Amino acid sequence: MKEKPSRLRQRIRKLEESLALSLRHIRAERGPLRRGSFVTLHRTCGKPNCHCAQGEKHPADYLSTRREGRTHLLYIGAQIKEQVAQEAGRYRQFRKRRAAVARLMPLLLRRIDELEEALENRDPIAVTKKRSRKGE
């Protein structure tokens, strides 16, 4: 059963609002963005008498990125830790919003096609011959 055009218009409007919100956030981003994920790993230093050898490991901050199909960890010093974490977080949010746009566009087009189908007049057109006025 086809949906009513008014219901389809409501669904299109909701998709349009979601899309507009994602696009507003994307346009508002001023960067800088840093591709990758900011991670804190806990590692041992290798010294046999260090506390990390008995359990509590040393925290170290890294930027995890993928290049040529491989994961690379880049050590991040304490002086730029906050900056890199913020940039990587903004990148992640930007990509989420981009994914939302990519997900919404096909749905919006599908709803528009459904509206077109619901509005289409499929009644056959009655063809009538024009009467000649010569003999009248």
Burial class (CB in 10 A: 0-12, 13-18, 19+), 88: buried
Count up the domains in the chain and report the number.
1
56 in any annotated domain:
yes
69 in any annotated domain:
yes
Domain that holds residue 46: 5-119
Question: What pLDDT does 135 receive?
Answer: 55
25 in any annotated domain:
yes
Question: What pLDDT does 49 receive?
Answer: 86
DSSP E strand boundaries for 1-136: 37-43, 58-67, 70-75
Question: Which pLDDT tens digit goes with each residue over 1-34?
Answer: 678 888 999 999 999 999 999 999 999 999 899 9
63 in any annotated domain:
yes
User: How are beta strands 70-75 and 37-43 bridged, if at all?
Assistant: unpaired
115 in any annotated domain:
yes
Q: Are 63 and 76 in contact (CB under 8 A)?
A: yes
135 in any annotated domain:
no
| One-letter amino acid for residue 119 of the chain | L
Q: Are 34 and 83 in contact (CB under 8 A)?
A: no
Distance CA 67, CA 73 (A): 11
126 in any annotated domain:
no
Question: Which pLDDT tens digit goes with each residue over 92-134?
Answer: 999 999 999 999 999 999 999 999 988 887 788 877 766 666 6
pTM score of the predicted model: 0.73
Beta bridge partners of 61: 40
18 in any annotated domain:
yes
Q: Which two tokens stand for residue 79?
A: 């002086």
